């Protein structure tokens, strides 16, 4: 009779056992904040469709100290999400060859982050210009 008795180890709590996995879970979790902010904007859009009173109510709600705190938290989480998203991006795309040379992963991450900053500044400028 075979003495083989392979032992299968449990997976419970796997993500707590390695700092790399903790970072991965924080990255995945930060996506919830991105979604939450999407919902806030969507509610704003619905209020806008409902008329002036609803829209002004939404604007007033956005100025509440708790709403400002929420925005700061979301900003921090979205910044982390963008940073970790672009960090993994070189691993998710085919090799980028420019001028016969393969573009380095750090260059791709850097370009993504730079594009995020530039796009955010343009958006901020536009909104600033329109609301003044």
For residue 35, give Cα distances in angstroms to 30, 54, 65, 77, 80.
9, 22, 21, 11, 14
For binding to another protein (CB under 8 A), which residues are involved? 3-9, 11, 14-15, 17-18, 20-21, 24, 28, 88, 90-95, 102
For residue 76, give Cα distances in angstroms to 40, 41, 69, 97, 98.
16, 17, 11, 33, 34
What is the smallest separation between the CB atom of 103 and another protein, expressed in angstroms? Answer: 13
What is the smallest separation between the CB atom of 21 and another protein, expressed in angstroms? Answer: 6
What is the smallest separation between the CB atom of 94 and another protein, expressed in angstroms? Answer: 5
CB of 47 or CB of 85, closer to another protein:
85
């Amino acid at each position: 009779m075979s003495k083989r008795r392979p032992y299968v180890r449990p997976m419970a709590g796997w993500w707590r056992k390695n700092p790399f996995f903790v970072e991965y879970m924080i990255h995945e979790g930060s996506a919830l904040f991105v979604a939450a902010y999407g919902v806030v904007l969507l509610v704003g859009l619905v209020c806008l469709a409902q008329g002036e009173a609803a829209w002004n109510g939404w604007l007033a709600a956005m100025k509440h100290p708790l709403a400002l705190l929420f925005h700061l938290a979301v900003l921090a989480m979205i910044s982390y999400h963008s940073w970790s998203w672009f960090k993994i991006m070189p691993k998710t795309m085919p090799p980028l060859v420019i001028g016969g040379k393969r573009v380095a992963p750090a260059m791709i991450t850097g370009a993504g982050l730079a594009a995020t900053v530039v796009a955010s500044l343009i958006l901020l400028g536009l909104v600033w210009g329109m609301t003044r």
